[in-house]
């Protein structure tokens, strides 16, 4: 019933919010009579603030059109690679018409960023994606608002989340041979479970995992968020925060943890901070400080946009992560797509490098909660493990803002690169380390009889050098070449053919 009441109230407020936006523009226009009022700036600011407090915030877009790399702008094409009922695997494909830039970026690491499903949309990691695009091929999980998923699509459980992550990892691996995985906050637990299950089955695991600010072991330095989850019973959450989606949405009837309740919880954690922020916005509008006002709008357009979470997924996360501590206790079992339960064993991970990142002032995932991943991944060699604590950073600072760009990202970039083997390099290593074919016996061939020599001998490098051109013309050596030599000849011909200039043709290729 609460969800229906909220939607009714929001619908009633919507026209007033729109009127407030119109009034703010009227009083802000100096050519209008109302705008010539000596208090017009204050009145406009008040209406603008009223509009923002009452408006409905929809899902923002990533809005990444280009990214600058060493002063060169690379075009970004955002597209959906995989479509699942509750998630989209989104790719940010880079294009450039600069040959040097194409050469530089073609063997860069492919990184799957697993965004949190904990209230906000994946666009919260816009700054993360933008920085990563400079040096990586980037994919991200874009979770859907549960109220927009019809009941016909079935339920969504924590097990489904883990299975989705495994499917996305395999998809990226199939394209590039292997990949790296980065999880931010909530997904550190299901991502670790996904990689652990792949390792237990003997599947190829990612080259590295970067785990940032997540509740691997929520018992360490518990925060207000942890305490709420640990002190309230499972039935309390089910009875107090779970509601059914109203009939006005495609997912009508689905049990969810509504986004508006989550947003209320976010604001309640720091009410004074948010009140001051809105008051500062009001003063910036009066002063005409457009830059500060726009920064406020950008932040709260993202912060106020929230999604509903499927009830089964949410309740299972509370139980597994914050009440049973099933991951660190070694008691967590995940059902695979066939419905068979499998035990999560992080100790089975052997070859995946592991980096944990924490913020010194994180008030959501306390100190030591993410670092605990090293104590349960005992199969990973110590030289492949690393922990980094960002001084002065809160929860959002480790993946967004100046501290992310200047302090955390260089660490992440260096770690991924140190554990990355590009496909071209893998091929070169394979060729170098392959066992050489046994050398054929040397046969002395007189010059006069070179044309009549057996094809096998004529294909030898020595014979090819001593054979006159005329004799070779009578019986082309190319016909007698072995498959390896023929392939080499073909490659030589292709290499000799001038390649069309990408820049001259005016077409952009994938970077």
DSSP assigned state of 136: S
Query: Going along 46-203, which residue ranges are E strands?
Result: 66-69, 72-84, 87-96, 110-114, 137-143, 180-184
Give per-residue pLDDT as tens, 135-156: 999 999 999 999 999 999 999 9
- Taking phi first (over 0 means left), then psi (-120 to 50 degrees means alpha), and beta for anything else, what does residue 213 get? left
**Residue 257 and residue 238: Cα distance in Å, rounded?**
9
Give per-residue pLDDT as tens, 7-19: 999 899 999 999 9
Greatest Cα pair distance, the chain, in angstroms, is: 108
Asked if residue 508 lies in contact with residue 96, where contact means CB atoms within 8 angstroms, the answer is yes
Among 71-75, 335-339, 388-392, the range scoring the smallest mean pLDDT is 71-75
- pLDDT class of 463 with cuts at 50, 70, 90: very low
**Residue 125 and residue 487: Cα distance in Å, rounded?**
47
Those residues with Cβ within 8 angstroms of residue 511's Cβ, 6 or more apart along the chain or in another chain: 74, 94, 95, 96, 101, 102, 105, 106
pLDDT number for residue 509: 60
The residue-averaged pLDDT of 21-37 equals 88
Q: Which residues belong to CATH 3.40.50.1820 in the chain?
A: 72-258+308-424
The residue-averaged pLDDT of 333-356 equals 96
Those residues with Cβ within 8 angstroms of residue 428's Cβ, 6 or more apart along the chain or in another chain: none
pLDDT number for residue 228: 87
Give per-residue pLDDT as tens, 98-138: 888 888 888 899 999 999 999 899 999 999 999 999 999 99
Asked if residue 257 lies in contact with residue 186, where contact means CB atoms within 8 angstroms, the answer is no
Q: Is the pLDDT of residue 44 over 70?
A: yes
Give per-residue pLDDT as tens, 179-210: 999 999 999 999 999 999 999 999 999 999 99
- pLDDT class of 489 with cuts at 50, 70, 90: very low
- pLDDT class of 225 with cuts at 50, 70, 90: confident
Residues linked to residue 111 through DSSP beta bridges, in sequence order: 138, 180
The highest-level CATH class for domain 72-258+308-424 is: alpha beta
Give the three-class secondary structure for 167: helix
Burial grade of 168 (CB within 10 A; 0-12, 13-18, 19 or more): buried
Is the model more confident about 230 or about 450?
Answer: 230
The residue-averaged pLDDT of 382-409 equals 95
Q: Is the pLDDT of residue 460 over 50?
A: no
pLDDT number for residue 105: 84
Asked if residue 145 lies in contact with residue 307, where contact means CB atoms within 8 angstroms, the answer is yes
Among 25-29, 57-61, 465-469, the range scoring the smallest mean pLDDT is 465-469
User: Chain-wide mean pLDDT for the chain?
Assistant: 84
pLDDT number for residue 508: 54
**Phi and psi at residue 385, in whole multiples of 5°?**
-115, 145
The residue-averaged pLDDT of 436-453 equals 42
- pLDDT class of 259 with cuts at 50, 70, 90: very high
**Residue 299 and residue 286: Cα distance in Å, rounded?**
19
Q: Is the pLDDT of residue 483 over 50?
A: no
């Amino acid at each position: 019933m609460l969800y229906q009441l909220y939607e009714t109230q929001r619908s009633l407020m919507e026209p007033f919010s729109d009127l407030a936006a119109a009034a703010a523009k009227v009083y802000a226009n100096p050519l209008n009579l109302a705008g010539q009022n000596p208090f017009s700036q204050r009145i406009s600011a008040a209406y603008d603030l009223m509009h923002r407090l009452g408006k409905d915030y929809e899902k923002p877009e990533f809005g990444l059109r280009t990214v600058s790399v060493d002063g060169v702008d690379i075009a970004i094409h955002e597209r959906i690679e995989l479509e699942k009922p509750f998630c989209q695997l989104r790719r940010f494909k880079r294009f450039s018409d600069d040959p040097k830039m194409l050469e530089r970026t073609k063997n860069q690491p492919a990184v799957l960023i697993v965004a949190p499903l904990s209230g906000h949309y994946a666009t919260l990691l816009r700054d993360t994606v933008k920085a990563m695009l400079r040096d990586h091929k980037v994919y991200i999980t874009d979770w859907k608002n549960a109220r927009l998923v019809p009941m016909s699509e079935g339920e969504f459980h924590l097990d489904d989340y883990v299975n989705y992550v495994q499917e996305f990892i395999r998809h990226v691996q199939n394209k590039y041979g292997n990949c790296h995985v980065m999880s931010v906050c909530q997904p550190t637990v299901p991502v670790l479970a996904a990689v652990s299950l792949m390792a237990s089955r003997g599947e190829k695991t990612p080259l590295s995992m970067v785990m940032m600010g997540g509740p691997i072991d929520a018992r360490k330095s518990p925060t207000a968020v942890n305490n709420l989850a640990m002190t309230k019973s499972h039935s309390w959450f089910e009875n107090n925060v779970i509601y059914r989606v109203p009939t006005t949405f495609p997912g009508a009837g689905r049990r969810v943890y509504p986004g508006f309740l989550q947003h209320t919880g976010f604001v309640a954690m720091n009410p004074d901070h948010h009140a001051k922020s809105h008051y500062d916005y009001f003063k910036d509008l009066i002063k005409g400080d457009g830059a500060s006002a726009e920064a406020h709008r950008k932040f709260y357009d993202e912060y106020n946009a929230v999604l509903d979470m499927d009830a089964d997924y949410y309740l299972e996360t509370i139980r597994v992560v914050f009440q049973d501590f099933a991951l660190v206790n070694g008691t967590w079992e995940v059902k695979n797509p066939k419905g068979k339960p499998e035990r999560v064993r992080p100790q089975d991970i052997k070859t995946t490098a592991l980096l944990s990142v924490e913020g010194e002032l994180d008030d959501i995932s306390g100190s030591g909660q993410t670092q605990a991943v090293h104590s349960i991944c005992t199969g990973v060699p110590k030289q492949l493990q690393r922990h980094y604590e960002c001084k002065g950073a809160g929860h959002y600072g480790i993946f967004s803002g100046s501290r992310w760009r200047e302090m955390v990202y260089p660490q992440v970039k260096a770690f991924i690169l140190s554990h990355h083997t590009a496909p071209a390099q893998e091929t070169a290593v394979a060729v170098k380390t392959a066992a050489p074919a046994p050398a054929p016996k040397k046969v002395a061939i007189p010059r006069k009889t070179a044309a009549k020599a057996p094809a096998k001998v004529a294909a030898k490098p020595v014979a090819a050098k001593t054979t006159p051109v005329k004799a070779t013309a009578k019986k082309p050596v190319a016909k007698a070449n072995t498959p390896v030599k023929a392939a080499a000849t073909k490659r030589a011909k292709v290499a000799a053919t001038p390649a069309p200039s990408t820049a001259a043709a005016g077409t952009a290729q994938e970077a």
